[in-house]
Amino acid sequence: MSYASAFAFLREHNLLHGVPEHELSDTASAIETVMFADGQPLVVEGEASNDCFFVSDGKVQVTSRNLIGNTVLLAELGPGSLVGEIGLLRNERRSARVTAIGDVTALRLDRPTFDRLAVSSPLFHESLLLTVRIRMIHRLLRNASIWSAIPDAELRGLAEITKIKKVSKGETIVKAGELVEQFYMISEGRLEARDAKKRRTTLLNGDFFGETGVLTDTSSELEIVAAEDSELLVMGKSEFHYILSYYAPVRAQFMEILRIRSPHLLSKVTPDIGEAPKADETKSVLPKAKERWVELLLWLGGAFVALSLTAMFLKNDWLNYAALVIGGIVGPVTFVSYIRSHQLLGFGQARLGMIFAISAIVAVPLAWYVEREWLFGEGAAPFHFGPITLPLSISVIEESAKLIVCIALVRSRQMHFLMDAVVFGAAAGMGFAAIESVIYGWAHIGDASSVGMLSVLWMRALLSPFGHGTWTAIATAGIWVGFAALKSKSRLWSKVSGAIVLLAIVIALHAMWDYHLATGLAKMGMMVAVGCVGLTLLYALIRAGKREEFHAFATLNPYVQEALSHVDPSDYNASELHCEGCGTVSPRETRYCARCGRALRIK
Ligand SMILES: Nc1ncnc2c1ncn2[C@@H]1O[C@@H]2COP(=O)(O)O[C@H]2[C@H]1O
C-alpha cells in the first residue's frame, strides 16, 4: 500500500480521530503492508508481542484456547479492525490467535510506532484502554464455558458490566457466615476455600464461587482466601439473576452446580429464575470410552498361556506360581475393566486397583475366618446346616465381607453416581474372586503336569463374569440406592425396599451358585440361570447408571458448536481429563467436573 493510501486509511480511522496530521504522517511512513493467505496467522497465542495490525482488506478470525485445550472463537473482524494491541499495551504475550480468513491485507505497526501514536493521542490511548479491557474480559468469559450458551453480542455487553478485582495474597474475599452479594470467577491466580471442618480446596482460573449465596440468599458456608496475588471477575447479584432468568441452559448449569455443591439448599433458590430446563442431551456428543479391557484380556490371557506352557515344559516352580497369579487375575481384571469402560465419569485406575487389592486382602480372610468359626468350627456345633442353609449362610457371610469394603466407599462424599457403586462393587467382588481362584489353583499346583491347576484357573476365569464381580456390583448398587434415599428423603420407602430387594437377590443368586445337591445337567442349568439373572440385572443397573451420569454431564457441559474457519493446528489431544478438585476422570470434552463442579484443565 502506498504512503498516500496508508495516510488516508489512518486519517479515516475512527480510533485515530484527533491525532495530529504530522503524527499520522510519521505513522503512515513507518507502516508496512503485509499480505496473508487463507489460514495464515497474523498473531499466534502465547508468542511475544512486537507489533499490531490494522486489517485493511479481508477478514480475520480471533480464537483462543480454553482450559481444556479446545479452540474457541472470540470474534471475526473485518476491514478497519485493530488486532495485536493488547500485547503491546499491556506488555504481555499474545492473548489470542488471529488468522486470515481468505486473503487479507494488513498494515503492520511496530512497537515504537504504536507507542508514539498512543502517547501523541490521549483519545486513541483512552479508547484503546476501553476496548482492551472489554476484549480481555470477553475472552475470559468466552473461554469459561459456563457462559457458552450466551450469544456473543450479549456476552460483550456482560463483559462491559463485569468488574476486574485484584486481590493480594492472604486477603479474605468471602467470610464464613457472611451474606454473599456477588458472583466471582477466577481469571488468574490461586484461592483457597475452607469449610467448617477446615477442609481446604484450591480454586484456580476458570473456577467460580459465590453462586450459592447469590442464588439462595443464605450466608456463606465457606471462607475464601487468596493463596497468592490473584485476579477475579466480579458480577453483581442482579446481573447474575438477569442472565439466569434469560438463558435457560446457563440456569440449568448453575442449578446442577447447586445440586452438586449444596443439595440441601436447592429448595431455597430465592429469585424467580424459572424452572431449570432439561438439558438437550440429544445434541451432546460423547467421546467413545477407550475399551481397554480387550487389550488387558489379550495381554493377561497371553501371559497366562505363555507362562503355563513354559512352566509345564521347564517344570519350573516359580513359573508355575507366576502362572497361578496371572491366571487368577485374568478373568477378574478383564471384567472390572469392561464394567469401567461403561463409566463416563469415573475414578482413576489406581483407586480401582486399591479396592481390588483391599477386598482380596481383607474380605477373603474375614469370610474364611467367619465361615470356619461359625459354619465348620466348634461354634457351629449347636446348629445343623442343611443343603440349603449352608450355601445361604456362606452367601451371607461372603457378601457381607465384600460389602464391608464397599460400604465405607459408598458413604464417601465423592461417590456421586450409581455407576460408582457398580464399578467399585465389581472391583471388590473381583478382588475376592481372584484370591479365591489363586487358592483353588494352589490346591492343584502339586499335580504332576499342572494340568489340574490350569483347568481350575481357566474354568474360573471363564465363569468369573457370572459370580462375585456381578453379585457385589449389584449389592453395592443396592447399598448406594439405600443411602441416597436416606440422604435425599425423596421416595424413601420405595428406594429402601428396592435396595433390600437387590441385596436379597444377590444373596439368593450366590446361594444357588453354591447349592450342591443339583448335579450334572441340573447343576449346569442352575449355574446358567444364576449367571443370566445376575448379568441381566447388572446390565439394567449399568444402563440406569449411564443415563444418570450422562444427564449430569450434559447439563453441566451443554453442547457448543463453534463456527470456526480454521482450527488451531496445535489443538490438544488427550483421551481423558483429570479433575484437580476430586481426582476423578472425565471424557476429553468435559469442561466442568460433574462431581464437584470445578473447571477442568489440561496440565
Ligand atoms: N475477546 C476478543 N475480541 C476480539 N479480539 C480479541 C479478543 N481478545 C483478543 N483479541 C485480539 O487478539 C489479539 C491477540 O494478540 P494480542 O493479545 O496482542 O491482542 C489481541 C486482540 O487484538
pLDDT tens digits along 552-570: 898 888 877 778 888 877 7
Query: pLDDT > 90: what percent of the chain?
Result: 42
**Minimal-distance CA residue to ligand 1 atom 9:** 96
User: Ligand 1 centre and the CA of 183: distance in Å?
Assistant: 25
291, 444 contact by CB (below 8 A): no
Ligand 1 nearest-atom number relative to CA 97? 14
Q: What are the residues facing 105 on neighbouring strands?
A: 35, 57
Q: What are the residues facing 57 on neighbouring strands?
A: 105
User: Ligand 1 centre and the CA of 135: distance in Å?
Assistant: 6
CATH topology of domain 3-145: Jelly Rolls (2.60.120)
Residue type, 323: A
Q: Which CATH class is domain 161-273?
A: mainly beta
Q: Residue 372 has what pLDDT?
A: 84
Q: Residue 379 has what pLDDT?
A: 61
Domains 3-145 and 161-273 belong to one CATH topology: yes
For the chain, the structural domain boundaries read 3-145, 161-273, 292-559
Which mutation among 53, 99, 135 tests ligand 1's pocket best, with the greatest number of atoms within 8 A of CB? 135
- pLDDT beneath 70, residues of the chain: 271-290, 377-383, 410-411, 413-414, 446-450, 517-518, 571-574
CA distance 220 to 183: 12
Q: Residue 145 has what pLDDT?
A: 78
The backbone region for 106, taken as left when phi is positive above 0, alpha when psi lies in -120 to 50, beta otherwise, is beta
List of residues 6+ apart from 10 with CB closer than 8 A? 16, 19, 24, 27, 28, 31, 54
109, 30 contact by CB (below 8 A): yes
User: Ligand 1 centre and the CA of 129: distance in Å?
Assistant: 13
User: Ligand 1 centre and the CA of 84: distance in Å?
Assistant: 6
Q: Residue 446 has what pLDDT?
A: 64
pLDDT tens readout for residues 158-216:
999 999 999 999 999 999 999 999 999 999 999 999 987 777 889 999 999 999 999 99
User: Ligand 1 centre and the CA of 83: distance in Å?
Assistant: 6
> Which residues does a 6 A CB cutoff place in the pocket of ligand 1?
43, 49, 62, 74-75, 83-87, 94-96, 98, 135, 138-139
Q: Residue 455 has what pLDDT?
A: 79
Q: How many CB atoms lie within 10 A of CB 525?
A: 11
State the pTM of this model. Answer: 0.83
Coil, strand, or helix at residue 562?
A: coil
